[in-house]
Amino acid sequence: MPTPHSTRARLADGREIHFYDDVAGRHRTVTDTRALPPVESASELRWDPTVEEWVVMATHRKDRSGGAAVPCPLCPSSESAATEIPAHDYDVAVFENRYPALRGAASPDERGASLSSPAGGRCEVMAFGSEHETSLARMSEQRVRTVVKAWADRTRALNALPSVEQVVCFENRGSEIGATLTHPHGQIYGYPFMPSRFERMRQAARHARARGAECVFCSVLNRELAAGQRIVARSEHWTAFVPHAARWPYEVHLYAHRHVPDLAALTEEERVDLAGAYRSLLRRFETVAEAALPYMALWIQAPANGDRELGHLHAQVFSDRATPLKPKRLAAGELGAGTFISEVEPEQAAAALRTADTWVHPMPPRRGLVSRTDND
């Protein structure tokens, strides 16, 4: 896959920033005039042996400043306000988080041989564009192509870091679901370990291989295509469906038809097709109810090292509510025991999403959104 046209620079405190342009040929001179202290990260990994998973202790993040009167840190810089983006305009920008939960070259011991470890890895913020009052669903397909290219490029770069085991590209959209910034953006985490849910997926794939069965993800996709009633949309290279055992009121998985490990391994045709399919999916979340639903989205990719042939690239997009004013509250049995109870029939959710108007309505006002001087 060709590398997208980009400009690499440094922010005032030494953090990397990358600009990705919709059209090749633009040359940027980037100068950050702010006086910033060095980035400090005191994060620690602590091992919970009862469930065999790491917990990230990032107590320094609680000291982040914020406030609605502060200029948005993801808007372009101007003569009156210097932000995290030292440019007067941009298409897509990716930079190291100023308050990272994960940072450095440390990697934890295998399976928690030591109960604590410095939290290595990488945390990056991806701003989807200069415009503040919009969403990724409302951007042009060309812009979504640039986002996909940037995801792929950063996945490749982070996978090459010795401290990174798993790269996750994700977005939290809407303060109702936990986003602290209204500006359209996502994040990329390079975890120094396999997150527990991803580890369970890898184990499921290993078990299928041990049985001599086909890829567990290919099998799921084939069953959904055969069943048909939970399919939301399909293109040449991608299929979006509500999973048979959906946990959330609205939950859609977007699978690559080809067994491919990660975003960096996609062909040009697959990337172009993905931009249209992904934008269409997000638009359905904005139009399936009387107002845009808040959502979380993340990409499931193969790990950086080992078992990469078991990975099957797909995205998960889900909302915690069936209507804007009716959130699903997780009870003790769900959060504590880890067993979800779904109150929405997946087939009905798929039918609603399938018939949702993908022509996005005017942007509704959002209440109670927070603007910060830092990033998520």
- Residue 301 structural domain: 198-354
pLDDT at residue 15 in the model: 96
- Assigned domain for 63 exists: no
Q: What angle do CA 215, 218, 223 make, to 5 degrees?
A: 125
Do 177 and 247 fall within a single domain?
no
- Assigned domain for 366 exists: no
Total residues belonging to the chain:
376
**Contact (Cβ atoms closer than 8 angstroms) between residue 294 and residue 250:** no
pLDDT at residue 2 in the model: 45
- Assigned domain for 14 exists: yes
Do 249 and 332 fall within a single domain?
yes
Do 286 and 321 fall within a single domain?
yes
Do 51 and 93 fall within a single domain?
yes
Which domain CATH number covers 305? Answer: 3.30.428.10
Q: Which phi and psi (to 5°) does residue 220 adopt?
A: -60, -45
List per-block mean pLDDT (blocks of 10 residues) for the chain, which spans 376 residues.
Answer: 73 96 85 91 91 92 56 93 95 96 86 85 97 96 97 98 97 90 96 96 97 96 98 98 98 98 98 98 96 97 96 98 90 93 96 91 52 44
Q: Which of 184, 347, 361 lies closest to 289, judged by CA?
A: 361
**Residue 237: active-site member:** no
Please tell me the total count of domains within the chain.
2
Lookup: tokens for 135: 């969403």
CA dihedral 152→156→157→158, nearest 10 degrees, is 100
The CA distance from 40 to 233, in Å, is 44
pLDDT at residue 107 in the model: 83
pTM: 0.93
Do 106 and 164 fall within a single domain?
yes
Residue of 18, 60, 183, 185 marked catalytic: 185
The CA distance from 247 to 341, in Å, is 7
Do 11 and 156 fall within a single domain?
yes
**Contact (Cβ atoms closer than 8 angstroms) between residue 130 and residue 122:** no
Do 202 and 348 fall within a single domain?
yes
pLDDT at residue 370 in the model: 34
Do 139 and 219 fall within a single domain?
no
- Assigned domain for 85 exists: yes
- Assigned domain for 363 exists: no
Do 218 and 185 fall within a single domain?
no
Do 84 and 113 fall within a single domain?
yes
Do 281 and 315 fall within a single domain?
yes
Do 208 and 337 fall within a single domain?
yes
The CA distance from 179 to 17, in Å, is 22
